[in-house]
Amino acid sequence: MSAVSATQCQMRLSSSVGAAVSTLKGKHFISIDQLSNDELKGLLAASHQYKEIYSDKSKPLPRPLNGHSVSMIFQKRSTRTRVSTETGMSLLGGHALFLGPSDIQLGVNETMRDTASVLSRFNDIVLARVYAHADIIELAKYSSVPVINALSDLHHPLQTLADLMALQQHFGTDLTGKTVAWVGDGNNVLHDLMLGSVKMGMNVHIATPKGYEANADILAKTIELAKENNCQVVTSNVAEEAVKGADVVVTDTWVSMGQEEEYAKRVKEFEGYQVNTELMGKANPGAVFLHCLPRHPEEVTDEVIYSDASLVFPEAENRMWTVMAVMAAQMGKV
């Protein structure tokens, strides 16, 4: 790989989006809420361009994160998060180190503060997938390098970037006026999706069973942002109401990791929330479907997830392009 070719590739990316994401250098990435509208759109633009550049293996590829490393702390298992981060960091020229529950136990054998301080001395980025959001906050508090929230019980910002990228790939860059309908549990994935959607000018319809509503504070923040961006947030407890007028229908697992003992109770209480052809038929013509995976048959039928309306697998691929954009932005190398 010639230095000239790599530099040219890098300049091609920087000329379009560098200014929008320059403010993210050295910062933690904890939730979509922290991003300005321009920063969010800049990360998405960078993600699209990384896909374009790194999908073509016939050309010399830029390695902007050569010599950089990321430690990945996983309290909760994940196929997409691990593979996308390891592969993405490798494409950027850096190194990723996986730390599973048997390698590191946050706050058990060593305090969170000490863990953050030590990893900061070895790595340029710390990515963590945890149960409690408080763990991410404490890691970020004591880490001297940028922290990425790869999932907590309150937020899942990387998933939202992948979702929005998939919608841009399908509908075009400008998503203003589109309507996203969430059908299911008011969980971490919903929290960032609704925040990101209104920042992009989209309306949000939410249907959750009673007792499974979104976090009240995050919902209030989303409604506030929706007013600023001239869009609407509507909540209900009826799936059919949420999908009326929707261009996008989204669901997620009904039983997250750590909730296995609630399986029977949750499946019963989520009756009527399965995304099937009948429910999709109540959305706008041409509506698309998203699910962050892994999925279960009670949540969505094969007829929907494997249909032409499904963006689920491009959405999964986008987990790599978007985490690449976040890591490069944190290092100031976009």
Domain hosting residue 299, numbered range: 159-315
By annotation, the residues acting in catalysis are 292
Q: Quick check: 42 and 58 in contact, CB under 8 A?
A: no
**Domains in the chain, number:** 2
Which of the 8 DSSP states describes residue 106? Answer: B
Task: Tell whether 183 and 127 lie within a shared domain.
Answer: no
Q: Cα(331)–Cα(334) distance, rounded to whole angstroms?
A: 8
DSSP 3-state assignment of 210?
coil
Task: Tell whether 119 and 201 lie within a shared domain.
Answer: no
Determine whether 265 is exposed, middle or buried from the number of CB atoms within 10 Å of its CB (0-12, 13-18, 19+): exposed
Find the helix packing angle between 312-330 and 157-171, rounded to 10°.
120
Peptide bond before 297: cis, by omega within 30 degrees of 0?
no
Task: Tell whether 147 and 171 lie within a shared domain.
Answer: no
DSSP 221-286: HHHHHHHHTT--EEEES-HHHHHTT-SEEEE--SS-TT-GGGHHHHHHHTTT--B-HHHHTTS-TT
Domain CATH for 223: 3.40.50.1370
pLDDT per residue as tens, the chain (334 positions):
344 444 444 444 655 678 899 999 999 999 999 999 999 999 999 999 999 999 998 989 999 999 999 999 999 888 899 999 999 999 999 999 999 888 876 667 788 899 999 999 999 999 999 999 999 999 999 999 999 999 999 999 999 999 999 999 999 999 999 999 999 999 999 999 999 999 999 999 999 999 999 999 999 999 999 999 999 999 999 999 999 999 999 999 988 767 777 878 999 999 999 999 999 999 999 999 999 999 999 999 999 999 999 999 999 999 999 999 999 999 999 9
Beta bridge partners of 251: 291
Task: Tell whether 105 and 210 lie within a shared domain.
Answer: no
Task: Tell whether 252 and 105 lie within a shared domain.
Answer: no
